[in-house]
Structure 1
Amino acid sequence: MNLKFVLGSTMLVASLFAAAPRAQAESVMLGQTEVRAIRAPERGLSMAQVEKRFGAPEAKLAPAGGDTPRHPTINRWKYNGFTVYFERNIVIHSVRDGA
């Protein structure tokens, strides 16, 4: 095979995957266990945005860090099914309970 054909074919396949609509699963089967996707805050939201969209948290855990500029304050909010981690007041991660 010549190099132009291989590169052209690779580019065609890559463009087809890029143009395909993305699917989001509501649940996934792992063996006999069904794992349900949960709706959780995405990275970059502010505390005010999270509280507006998801309501008040069940618990606001004690902040950690904040002792130096290199160690910013990390806040954690517990919701039913997940915990949201904030750096200062911006979401950096949402973790499903038991993950």
Structure 2
Amino acid sequence: MSTYKAFILPVLLSVLCGLPTFAAAETLSIIDAPANSTTGIPRPGRGMTMQQVEAAFGSPRQKMAPVGEPPITRWVYEQYTVHFEHDRVIHSAVHHQMQKP
């Protein structure tokens, strides 16, 4: 019985002492970040062709070479990047702007 108490007491104390570290948490709040939604910055929609994107939004600042199979190509515009699979838009994402504290 004394061996049991000698084992349980240190374990119980270490668990109780460690609880405050689990209870502490931080809240991260991102304010005024551009939304990657249809209500955010206007950008190409899924399914558009490369020709349609260039006609509607102009030439990108940079055209990245295709990578992988199927080939994924990125076009970088001022405020967003467009991702293509073959010649069709699969995703477009607004660039994150770092805020000064």
Q: TM-score category by the smaller chain?
A: 0.5 to 0.7
Q: How far did residue 32 of structure 1 move?
A: 7.8
Identical-pair percentage: 44
- Aligned counterparts, 1:9-48, within 5 A: 33-36=31-34, 37-48=40-51
- In structure 2, runs of 5+ residues without a counterpart are 1-28, 35-39
**Which stretches in structure 1 are left out of the alignment for 5+ residues?**
1-30, 66-70
List structure 1 runs of 4+ shifted beyond 6 angstroms: none
How many residues are matched?
A: 65
Greater share of strand: 1
When you count helix as a share of all residues, which structure comes out higher?
2
After superposition, the Cα gap between the structure-2 partners of 1:32 and 1:57, relative to the gap in structure 1 and judged at 3 Å, is: closer
Which of 59, 79, 91 does residue 56 from structure 1 map onto?
A: 59
The two structures, once aligned, show a CA RMSD in angstroms of: 2.1
TM-score (norm 2): 0.58
2: CA distance, partners of 1:86 / 1:32: 28
**TM-score, L = length of structure 1:** 0.59
Letter in structure 2 aligned against 1:86: F
